[in-house]
Structure 1
Amino acid sequence: MDDEDPMTKEDVGRIMARAMRATAGPWSSFVESREGFSGSDFIRTGGEDIYLTGATVADQDFIAHARQDIPRLVTEVERLRELLNRSKGR
């Protein structure tokens, strides 16, 4: 998908489908130096924990939050599209 192409309803549906196939949430990012405990940095999920190599703390936080953020963003896109369609009389 080109950055200038509008996101289609199908694109949004595929994004949500990927999010829903991921391990159940919520996911939480645990960083040893930030949380004040010893051990590895990891992402806690509703299943197995995820350990990343080569990721920054910001990367880990982004990945962990994406499990909750993506479905919320997709829901908002769908809500705004519905409002736009209603305002156009569709």
Structure 2
Amino acid sequence: MTEIEIKEIEDRYKLASPGPWKSLIEGRDVESGDSFIMTGIAEGEDIWSEKRDEDIYLIGATTADQDFIAHARQDIPKLLSEIKRLKSNDTSAI
């Protein structure tokens, strides 16, 4: 993976709604109507906090798709950090 590709991925995640994101599935996590991704609220924080950003609603997504998308907001920064760490230790390793 090139430095340009890493920078492009980093730029995209930084422009996304603030994290963390949490997948809430109707019938599994909530009983209020729709499945959605809640953004900007950490575990244990008040869901009505002013820090909360707009919810994300997906049409046609499976539960696995929605969970993957929601987790990507937290996973991508971690993966990029690990890639950078590995590259700084040994540029031939990647």
- Which TM-score tier does this pair reach, normalised by the shorter chain? 0.7 to 0.9
How many aligned residue pairs are there? 80
CA contact 2:58–2:66 (8 Å) conserved in 1: yes
Per-residue displacement from partner, 1:6-56 (whole Å, max 9, x unpaired)? Answer: x10110011011001101000000001211523100000121000110000
SS, match of residue 58 in structure 1: helix
TM-score, L = length of structure 2: 0.80
Could you list the runs of 5+ residues in structure 2 that have no partner in the other structure?
A: 41-52
Q: Which residue of 1 aligns with 2:31?
A: 37
CA distance in 1, matches of 2:67, 2:27: 14
Over aligned residue pairs, what C-alpha RMSD do you find?
1.4
Separation (CA, whole Å) in 1 of partners of 2:17 and 2:83: 23
Matched, 1:14 2:19: no
Higher helix share: 1
Larger radius of gyration: 1
Give % identity: 55
- Structure 1 unaligned regions, length at least 5: 1-6
Runs of 4+ in 1 over 4 A off after TM superposition: none
Distance 2:11 2:77 in 1: 9
